[in-house]
Structure 1
Amino acid sequence: MPETITDGRRRRGATRRRELLDATLRVIARDGLAGISQRRVADEAGVPASAVMYHFASVDDLLVSTLREVNDRYLAELEAVSTLGGLAALIASSGRAALVAEYDLFLLAARRDDLRTEVDRWDAALRGLAERVTPRRGDVLAAVVNGLWLQAAVSGLDESGALAVLRGATGWRQGESNP
């Protein structure tokens, strides 16, 4: 459960920080990682350029914070999934533009040793998901989930298509529980 901030200044600061992280994702979705700058993020958020550096020590800190925020959100969403159908719905509900931005951030983490913990957190969450959702072929499920999210980012994906792939990958058969 998120911490409730009672101090008005801290609450406004947390809100501004959230706005900047959201603006960063929109800029990445539109312009890629190379398009990130203090001014572009500030313009996207509708705030003065100095607000970005007030909340983030550098553009790199802004990108790393955005990556961690995105990862935290997905990990919480994955933790709530208990069926293949729930997983298919989660994958299908992800917006294409946001997914493209999130993949850019994930690839940044894959390239940098200092961000390896974010990749490891994601992999551990997929292993946990596989243990909850299917008694077999968990390694395949983890790979398929990553592939489905990439497909959703590239060309979109509907829930029934995602569910069919998940069922096929896990060897699910009609009449078995946990569809």
Structure 2
Amino acid sequence: MTRPAETRQRIISAVLRIIGDDGVAGVTNRRIAQEAGVSLGSVTYHFATQQDLLRESLLTFVTGETRHFGELAQQQTNGECVSLEQVVELVGKIASTIPDNSERIAPYELYLHAGRDPELQDSAAECFAAYDKLAATVLTGLGVPNAEKVAGAVVGLVMGMKLRALATGSGTDSLVDALLMLAKGAGVQD
């Protein structure tokens, strides 16, 4: 028997796949149920509205992603302060290991949808705050002055470069150079 938490996660995973494949417009309860392998009633039981479903899908994705990135950074640096080049190399390594599949497109679709739907804007802001916090932690470890202010620019650059790679089918090689240029402009010393 499937537990409610497992069913809920299967539904969220299905939503992210559907959004990545066909956009937010492709999300219907019937399609979710089919993709997740759950009953139609399970979808509406776990998520009363489409907004609840979209909001939770976005938050779940970002929570998992920031946790994963934080763990990778901790493993690579062993909690020690590292050089700018090591951090940029780590970010580049992480970015290159992220698959360019439909589930990676889904958050961008949801962020754009939030621009049209005020009910999702708080969730999108929460997601960007999580990314900013992770970036600020790394930047603080590097000794960047005003790391919290610089974090938003770093997050914007990483997301923009990743979006560019998704849209063009190119790699994320230019991300490392762009991050080095931004970090040096923020006053990080080698």
Equivalent residue of 2:38, what SS? coil
Aligned pair count reads: 165
Equivalent residue of 1:84, what SS? helix
Does residue 37 (structure 1) correspond to residue 42 (structure 2)? The answer is no
* Aligned residue type for 2:34: D
Measure the CA separation in 2 of the matches of 1:37 and 1:22.
14
Structure 2: unaligned runs, 5 residues or longer: 75-86
Q: How does 1:37-56 map to 2 (within 5 A)?
A: 37-56=28-47
Report what 2:161 is aligned to. 148
Please say which of residues 35-44 and 114-123 is displaced more in the overlay: 114-123
Q: CA deviation at 1:156?
A: 4.1
Q: CA deviation at 1:53?
A: 1.2
Measure the CA separation in 1 of the matches of 2:132 and 2:50.
32
CA contact (8 A) 1:75 1:122 kept: no
TM value normalised by structure 2? 0.72
Measure the CA separation in 2 of the matches of 1:27 and 1:85.
32
Report what 1:116 is aligned to. 121
* Aligned residue type for 2:112: L
Please say which of residues 33-42 and 77-86 is displaced more in the overlay: 77-86
* Aligned residue type for 2:138: R
Q: CA deviation digits over 1:32-83, x for unaligned, max 9?
A: 1101101011111122222211221123322121111112123323444472
CA contact (8 A) 1:70 1:102 kept: yes
TM value normalised by structure 1? 0.76
Question: CA distance change for structure 1 residues 159 and 30 in 2, over 3 Å: closer, same or farther?
Answer: closer
Select the residue among 76, 99, 118 that pairs with 1:95. 99
Question: CA distance change for structure 1 residues 18 and 109 in 2, over 3 Å: closer, same or farther?
Answer: same
Identity of aligned residues (%): 26
Does residue 76 (structure 1) correspond to residue 67 (structure 2)? The answer is yes
Pairwise CA RMSD of aligned residues? Answer: 2.7
Measure the CA separation in 2 of the matches of 1:157 and 1:75.
23
* Aligned residue type for 1:151: R
